[in-house]
């Protein structure tokens, strides 16, 4: 299966908002409300930020929000802070005949 | 608070089999609420899902790796394991184990272990 498509990089200034897109197909993102987003700082394990498209785990700032339209999911970070600088990955369920999982290629967020 | 820890050789020769174990603490693999997954990340690249297993032994694999992957579970030791056969340099990566709910929500991750394939 093909990876989900994310922009390689995005940037923003402190306090601004940015959105990272994650484009899939009607076989994955478009068919299920099962998209999650992960933040990864250098040398660290990924951290769950958004699940089931728009839900935030306990402890994750409400500056992070998720949405979906058609085959594209999006992660929005408002009020950018320096510590938000990291790589972000989307992930979708791609069921078809047997359950499996597909990740996006990742987006490097730079806080200017 | 569940914790996961990967263990295994950091160096594997080409054509051999990579073997890793994930030990789960602070929660039971047999609880039935989660799948248990392996994910990898080649140096400087993105994440790739390898597969997951349920405590009963049901497994699902990445179609692109399916012919070489085996994931197994040992509920008595609260561990699950990965075997990847016929490895090449392209299998060099940090390998993570993770706890998964609702098919794709990886709620907890191990710290990762680097496996290098080289002679």
Instruction: State pLDDT tens for residues A77-112.
Output: 999 999 999 999 999 999 777 788 999 999 999 999
| B111 interfacial to chain A (CB closer than 8 Å) | yes
The answer on pLDDT for B45 being more than 90 is: yes
Task: Give the residue from B35, B41, B99, B104 with the most A CB atoms within 10 Å of its CB, the best one to mutate.
Answer: B104
Nearest to B104 among A1, A36, A47 (CB): A36
**Which residue did the predictor score with more confidence, A31 or A1?**
A31
The answer to whether residues B117 and B12 touch, using CB atoms and an 8 Å cutoff, is yes
The pLDDT of residue A1 is 56
The pLDDT of residue B107 is 94
**Measured on CA atoms in the order B15, A2, B102, A87, is the torsion positive or negative?**
positive
Residues in B touching A52 (Cβ below 8 Å): 102, 105
How distant is the Cα of A79 from the closest Cα of chain B, in angstroms?
25
The answer on pLDDT for B84 being more than 70 is: yes
Mean pLDDT of chain B: 96
pLDDT band for position B62 (50/70/90)? very high
pLDDT band for position B31 (50/70/90)? confident
Q: What average pLDDT score do residues B58-75 get?
A: 95
* CA A90 – CA A78 distance, rounded (Å): 18
pLDDT digits (tens, 9 = 90+) for A15-30: 999 999 999 999 899 9
Bridge-based pairing of strands A107-111 and A9-12 is parallel
pLDDT digits (tens, 9 = 90+) for A60-69: 999 999 999 9
pLDDT band for position B40 (50/70/90)? very high
Residue of chain B with shortest Cα separation from A48? B107
Residues in B touching A42 (Cβ below 8 Å): none
b/e map of B82-95 (b: 16 or more CB within 10 Å)? bebeebeeebbbbb
Nearest to B107 among A48, A99, A106 (CB): A48
Nearest to B109 among A46, A103, A106 (CB): A46
The pLDDT of residue B83 is 98
Q: Name the residue with tokens 């992957």.
A: B69
Q: What average pLDDT score do residues A29-57 get?
A: 96
The answer to whether residues A27 and A101 touch, using CB atoms and an 8 Å cutoff, is no
């Amino acid at each position: 299966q093909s990876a989900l498509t994310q922009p390689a990089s995005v940037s923003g200034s402190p306090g601004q908002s940015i959105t990272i897109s994650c484009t899939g197909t009607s076989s994955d993102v478009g068919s299920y409300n099962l998209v999650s987003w992960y933040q990864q700082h250098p040398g660290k394990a990924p951290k769950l930020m958004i699940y089931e498209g728009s839900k935030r785990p306990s402890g994750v700032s409400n500056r992070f929000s998720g949405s979906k339209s058609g085959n594209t999911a999006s992660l929005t970070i408002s009020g950018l802070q320096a510590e938000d600088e990291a790589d972000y990955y989307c992930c979708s369920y791609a069921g078809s005949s047997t359950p499996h999982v597909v990740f996006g290629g990742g987006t490097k967020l730079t806080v200017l | 608070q569940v914790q996961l820890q990967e263990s295994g050789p950091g160096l594997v020769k080409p054509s051999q089999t990579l073997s890793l174990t994930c030990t789960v603490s602070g929660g039971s693999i047999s609880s039935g609420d989660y799948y248990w997954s392996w994910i990898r990340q080649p140096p400087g690249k993105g994440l790739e899902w390898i597969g997951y297993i349920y405590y009963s032994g049901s497994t699902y694999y990445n179609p692109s790796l399916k012919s070489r992957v085996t994931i197994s579970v040992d509920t008595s030791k609260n561990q699950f394991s990965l075997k990847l056969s016929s490895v090449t340099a392209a299998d060099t990566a940090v390998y993570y184990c993770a706890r998964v709910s609702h098919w794709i929500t990886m709620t907890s991750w191990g710290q990762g272990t680097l496996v290098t394939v080289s002679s």
